[in-house]
Amino acid sequence: MRRFHIIFLLVFLLFCACLNGFDDKFVRLVYHSSNPVAQQIKVLDQYVYVYNDWYIYIYNLKNIWNPVVETAFSSTYPITDIAMLDYNKLYVCSHEPTNYITEMDSLNTYGHIFTALSLICNKARKEGNLLYTTHTENGLEIYDLSRSVYPQKISSFSENWGILDLEARYPQVHVLNDFGYVNIDVTDVTQPRTLGYNYEIVGGTVLSVNRNIVWVGAGNNLLAIEITYPEKPVIINRYRFSSDIIDLEARGNELFVALKTSGLRIMDITNPKKINEKNNYYIRTGVSSVALDGDYIYLGAGTQGWFVLEYR
């Protein structure tokens, strides 16, 4: 009888181990468009923004099975990023102060009117009435969006140069620069200050913040940085993929990883010190951008266009 109990316990433990990382949700394709070239993709208020160096296409998502082009814009200089506002305003990042954004003929003449303004920046993130932008020479710049149509600069801040990615979670802004991760305190937006940093990261390019963990993509390495004590960010885990990480989005207990040559990976990050792959979606040419909205995943896949996946 004792042997039977031991065998039963071992079988039960093996069964539990098999369930580790098990995903009871399914990924299925809802929509795919081979045009335009989709280097980046973002979603806000039932609109998906698909863009590349020269063009921005805005699709209406009222019918998720057949998104309709609401309008489109072209740029005279390469686009580095965009930031969307709630009232149909769009900020377009470019390195050129003379960049001119032109609205193209819309296929939907009864749609919303979108306005696009040009900013000199590499990246832009909106949070509330604040707009955070990065620039290779000026570091982080903070703008007030509530005072006028055009953003009013509040302050500038630099912790070394070359900010590669950022995420604003007031009262902190999390950035990756050429040296590693920096946590910036913006409690007083007129006087940002360094709260903490970790310069043990080599080659970090993208980040996503989830509760007290900052997830960083550095080549094909995924790093988990604990910021329970923001003054002392600590690397608590490393995970290696088969190809380079191009984009990251963390939500709840899941991390959505866009890989350069092997598509999307959905990771279970319930325990940041022991992550597991839950699900995936393979795209031969890889994924360059990922965005989330409810039960849907939006993927930019370069020359393969863009995808909408249902995940539930």
Say if CB 92 and CB 58 are below 8 A apart.
Answer: no
Q: Of all residues in the chain, what percent carry a pLDDT higher than 90?
A: 79
Burial class of residue 182, CB neighbours in 10 A (0-12, 13-18, 19+): buried
According to DSSP, the β-strands at 68-75 and 81-84 are: unpaired
Amino acid at 130: L
Mean pLDDT computed over 251-259: 97
Mean pLDDT computed over 29-49: 96
Q: How much is the pLDDT for 22?
A: 53
Q: Does 277 have pLDDT greater than 60?
A: yes
Cβ–Cβ contacts within 10 Å for residue 293, how many?
Answer: 16
Query: pTM to 2 decimals?
Result: 0.90
Q: How much is the pLDDT for 132?
A: 96
What are 247's two structure tokens?
A: 């984009």
Q: How far apart are CA 40 and CA 120, in angstroms?
A: 18
For the chain, give the mean pLDDT: 90
According to DSSP, the β-strands at 306-311 and 213-218 are: unpaired
Q: How much is the pLDDT for 19?
A: 43
Q: How much is the pLDDT for 215?
A: 98
| CA-based nearest residue to 61, from 301, 280, 294, 254 | 294
Q: CB pairs under 8 A, 24+ apart, for 17-21?
A: 20/276, 21/268, 21/276, 21/277, 21/278
Mean pLDDT computed over 97-120: 81
Q: Does 299 have pLDDT greater than 90?
A: yes
| CA-based nearest residue to 262, from 281, 239, 249 | 281
Q: How much is the pLDDT for 3?
A: 54
Q: CB pairs under 8 A, 24+ apart, for 16-25?
A: 20/276, 21/268, 21/276, 21/277, 21/278, 22/278, 23/266, 23/268, 23/278, 23/279, 25/279, 25/311, 25/312
Mean pLDDT computed over 123-139: 90
What are 312's two structure tokens?
A: 């539930």
Say if CB 118 and CB 101 are below 8 A apart.
Answer: yes
Tell me the per-residue pLDDT of 65-96, one tens digit each, with 9 for 90 and over: 999 999 999 999 999 999 998 778 899 999 99
Conformational region of residue 174, where left means phi above 0, alpha means psi within -120 to 50, and beta covers everything else = beta
Q: Which residues contact 215 (CB under 8 A, 6 or more apart)?
A: 207, 208, 209, 222, 223, 224, 225, 248, 250, 255, 269
Q: How far apart are CA 275 and CA 197, in angstroms?
A: 24
Tell me which of 3-7, 30-34, 301-305 is least confident.
3-7
What are 56's two structure tokens?
A: 């921005």
For the chain, how far is it from start to end, CA to CA, in angstroms? 43
Which position has the token pair 């069964």?
A: 15
| CA-based nearest residue to 219, from 237, 234, 238 | 238
* Phi, then psi, of 3 in degrees rounded to 5: -60, -40
Q: How much is the pLDDT for 256?
A: 98
